[in-house]
Chain A
Amino acid sequence: MSTALQDPRVVESPNYLNQEYGWRSWLFTKDHKRIAVLYIISITVMFFIGGLFAGLIRLELLTPQGDLVNSDTYNKFFTMHGIVMVFFFLIPSIPATLGNFFVPMMIGAKDLAFPRINLLSWYIYIAGAIFALAAIVLGGVDTGWTFYTPFSSTYSNTFVITAAVGVFIAGFSSILTGLNFIVTVHKMRAPGMTWGRLPLFVWANYATSLIQVLGTPVVAITLALVGLERAFHIGIFDPAIGGDPILFQHMFWFYSHPAVYIMILPGMGVISELVTCFSRKAVFGYPFIAASSLGIAIIGFLVWGHHMFVTGMSMYASLYFSLLTMLVAVPSAIKVFNWTATMFRGSISFDTPMLYAFGFIGLFTIGGLTGLFLATLGVDVHVTDTYFVVAHFHYVMVGGMVLAYLGGMHFWWPKITGRMYPEGWGRFAALLVFAGFNLTFFPQFITGYLGQPRRYHAYAPEFQVLNVMSSAGASVLGLGYVIPLIYFLWSLKYGPIAGNNPWRAKGLEWETTSPPPTFNFEKTPVVTEEAYAYAGQSTHEKVELT
Chain B
Amino acid sequence: MEQQFDSATLGMWVFLLTEIMFFGGMFCAYMIYRSMYSEAFASTSQYMNPKFGAMNTAVLIVSSLTMALGVRAARMGQQKALQMFLIFTMIFGLAFLVIKGFEYHEHWVDMKVPLFGGHWDYSEAPQFARQAQIMFCFYFFMTGFHALHMVVGVGLMTTILIMARRGVFSKAYFTPVEISGLYWHFVDIVWIFLFPLLYLIGRTKQLI
Contact = CB atoms under 8 A, between A and B. Distances in A.
Interface of A: 113-114, 175, 179-180, 182-183, 186-188, 213-218, 220-222, 225, 228, 232-236, 240-244, 247, 251, 254
Contacts of A251: 25, 28-29
Contacts of A220: 22, 25
A236 B134 contact: yes
Nearest to A113: B7
B17 interface: yes
Contacts of A213: 14, 17-18
B18 A175 contact: yes
A187 B26 contact: no
Given A183-B14, A225-B141, A242-B134, A218 B29 contact: no
A1 to B, nearest CB: 31
Contact of B7 (A187, A222, A232): A187
8 contacts: A114-B11, A182-B10, A187-B7, A222-B25, A228-B137, A232-B114, A235-B130, A242-B36
Given A183-B14, A213-B14, A213-B17, A235 B133 contact: yes
A187 B3 contact: yes
B18 A216 contact: yes
B32 interface: yes
Contacts of B23: 221
A241 B10 contact: no
Contact of B134 (A180, A183, A233, A241): A241
B163 interface: no
A234 to B, nearest CB: 5
Contact of B29 (A214, A233, A247): A247
Contacts of B155: none
Interface size class of B (residues with CB under 8 A): 20 to 34
Given A221-B25, A241-B131, A187 B6 contact: yes
Given A218-B24, A222-B25, A242-B133, 11 more contacts: A183-B14, A186-B10, A187-B10, A218-B21, A228-B137, A232-B116, A235-B133, A236-B134, A241-B130, A242-B131, A251-B28
Choose among A217, A220, A233, A247 the residue with the greatest number of B CB atoms under 10 Å from its CB: A217
A234 B141 CA distance: 11
Contacts of B134: 234-236, 241-243
B37 interface: yes
Contacts of A240: 130
Contact of A234 (B7, B25, B115): B115
A509 B28 CA distance: 44
B133 A241 contact: yes
Nearest to A243: B134
Interface in B70-119: 114-117
Contacts of B18: 175, 179, 213-214, 216-217
A220 B21 CA distance: 10
B130 A232 contact: no
Contacts of A234: 114-115, 117, 133-134, 137
A129 B14 CA distance: 25
A213 to B, nearest CB: 5
A182 B11 CA distance: 8
B15 interface: yes
Contacts of A236: 29, 33, 134, 137-138
Given A182-B14, A242-B131, A217 B25 contact: yes
Interface in B1-45: 3, 6-7, 10-11, 14-15, 17-19, 21-26, 28-29, 32-33, 36-37, 40
Given A113-B7, A183-B7, A242-B37, A218 B25 contact: yes
B58 to A, nearest CB: 28
A244 B15 contact: no
A222 B141 CA distance: 12
A217 B11 contact: no
B35 to A, nearest CB: 11
A228 B21 contact: no
Contacts of A186: 10
A387 B80 CA distance: 68
Contacts of B117: 232-234
B190 to A, nearest CB: 13
A242 B130 contact: yes
A233 B119 CA distance: 12
Choose among B3, B10, B117, B137 the residue with the greatest number of A CB atoms under 10 Å from its CB: B137
Contacts of B33: 236, 242, 244, 247
A176 to B, nearest CB: 9
Contacts of A188: 3, 7
A457 to B, nearest CB: 34
Interface string B116-129: 11000000000000
Contacts of B26: 221, 225
A179 B15 contact: yes
Q: Ordered nearest first, which 8 A-B pairs have the shortest CB separation?
A: A217-B22, A221-B25, A217-B21, A241-B130, A233-B117, A218-B25, A232-B115, A187-B7
B32 A247 contact: yes
Contacts of B19: 217
Contacts of A216: 18, 21
Nearest to A218: B25
Given A222-B25, A228-B141, A214 B17 contact: yes
Given A234-B137, A235-B137, A241-B133, A179 B14 contact: yes
Contacts of B115: 232, 234
B116 A183 contact: no
Contacts of B141: 225, 228
Contacts of B10: 182-183, 186-187
B15 to A, nearest CB: 6
Contacts of A179: 11, 14-15, 18
B128 to A, nearest CB: 10
B116 to A, nearest CB: 6
Nearest to B24: A218
Interface in B133-177: 133-134, 137-138, 141
B116 A233 contact: yes
Nearest to B36: A244
Nearest to B14: A179
